[in-house]
Amino acid sequence: CIYRAKYNHDVGYFDPPVKIEPKDVIIIEGLHAFYTQKSQELIDLKIFVDTQEDLRTHWKIIRDTEKRGYK
């Protein structure tokens, strides 16, 4: 069986792991997809999309001010 923990951007933490049924192909996406050593070892193919720094900063500012209530 497979347990996955999803990063919750609204609160800034991982949600508790949930059990999912294994499939022939599993797609793992997100900023923390390769975070743990175990996940790095288990993934056969890794694709990383490197967005521009100013765009990432813009997304983070919007997320932090609109969703997390930061100033």
The pLDDT of residue 53 is 94
Tens digits of pLDDT across the chain (71 residues)? 788 888 887 888 889 999 988 888 888 887 778 888 988 888 888 888 888 999 999 999 998 998 888 88
The pLDDT of residue 9 is 79
Position 21, amino acid: E
The pLDDT of residue 19 is 93
Q: Are strands 13-14 and 18-20 parallel, antiparallel or unpaired?
A: unpaired
The pLDDT of residue 42 is 84
Q: Are strands 2-4 and 7-8 parallel, antiparallel or unpaired?
A: unpaired
